[in-house]
């Protein structure tokens, strides 16, 4: 049984379960508070994340950080991870077998961190965590409870870069998350 994020991170660094390992510069394990009440899960690393080894440091991450600042959400109090830990070529959506190769790592992260709220950023996170019967457009902004964890699907910040209108819904979803966290005395 893996008991620490540090131990799990070292295992991920050596991972070769799928072909994504062949061209990575760095694994992108996750970052944030190891005792976070709120965890954000995205799709996978982009080029900037692959270089820096940290999730959400590129354009989409900067946009997400601006929303966090605007709403008073502290990136230091939350935890951020991805479905896959290595960058898919040309930032394509991870294949099902690539996601499946990484999901045990993510499950272990959740077990170690014990978040009360998990924010699913985009369709890939939503489908890999809650199942193929969900789609982001219909599910976003709605709480879904499973095994004692509250899930909030919302748009991936990269989608906001392509469609500015989605920023409004993303902001509203983050407000819902913040209000839920505050009403339950969760760190955010």
User: pLDDT tens, 152-176?
Assistant: 999 999 999 999 999 999 999 999 9
Contacts 24+ apart (CB under 8 A), 50-57: 50/24, 50/25, 50/26, 50/86, 50/87, 51/25, 51/26, 52/26, 53/25, 53/26, 53/27, 53/28, 53/29, 54/28, 55/28, 55/30, 55/31, 55/80, 55/81, 55/82, 56/80, 56/157
pLDDT(8) > 80: yes
Domains in the chain, ordered, with CATH? Answer: 5-183 (3.40.470.10)
The predicted structure's pLDDT at residue 2: 87
For tokens 């919302």, the residue is 154
The answer to pTM > 0.85 is yes
User: pLDDT tens, 36-68?
Assistant: 999 999 999 999 999 999 999 999 999 999 999
């Amino acid at each position: 049984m893996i008991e620490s994020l540090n131990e799990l991170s070292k295992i991920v660094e050596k991972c070769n379960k799928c072909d994504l390992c062949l061209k990575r510069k760095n694994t992108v394990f996750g970052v944030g508070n190891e005792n976070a009440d709120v965890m954000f899960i995205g799709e996978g690393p982009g080029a900037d994340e692959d270089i820096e080894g940290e999730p959400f440091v590129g354009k989409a991450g900067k946009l997400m950080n601006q929303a966090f600042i605007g709403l008073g959400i502290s990136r230091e109090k939350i935890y951020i991870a991805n479905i896959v830990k290595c960058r898919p070529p040309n930032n394509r959506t991870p294949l099902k077998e690539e996601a499946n190769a990484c999901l045990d790592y993510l499950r272990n992260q959740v077990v170690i961190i014990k978040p009360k709220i998990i924010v699913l950023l985009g369709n890939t996170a939503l489908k890999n965590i809650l199942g193929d019967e969900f789609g982001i457009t219909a599910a976003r902004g709605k709480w879904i409870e499973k095994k004692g964890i509250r899930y909030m699907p919302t748009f991936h910040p990269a989608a906001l870069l392509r469609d500015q209108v989605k920023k409004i819904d993303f902001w509203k979803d983050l407000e819902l998350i913040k209000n839920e966290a505050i009403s339950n005395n969760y760190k955010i």
